[in-house]
Amino acid sequence: MTREALYERLNAVFQDVFDDEDITVNDATTSADIEDWDSLEHINLVSAVEKEFGVKFTMGQVVTMKNVGEMVDIILAAIG
């Protein structure tokens, strides 16, 4: 899967989790850029992303992920 194609699906996940159809994310997007992305929603987001892409983040990745770019790198590495 290309990075662009992945982002298309990832945007849909973000829009669904945060109930906002205007959200579009990129490599530099962080929790500071999305109002409702707090520590509570972080886990819901992670679970939704895992479900969408059939991957499983480790707890280490969950707590150290700094931006969406890192999340995408992990997904791409997992699905090949």
- Which parts of this chain interact with other proteins (CB under 8 A)? 38-40, 42-44, 46-47, 58-60, 62-64
Q: Retrieve residue 22's tokens.
A: 């205007």
Cα dihedral 66, 46, 23, 5 sign: positive
Count of C-beta atoms within a 10 Å radius of residue 3: 13
The type of residue at 39 is S
Of 41 and 69, nearer to other proteins (C-beta) is: 41
Least CB distance to other proteins at residue 13 (A): 14
**Shortest gap between Cβ of 10 and other proteins (angstroms)?**
19
Nearer to other proteins, 9 or 51 (CB): 51
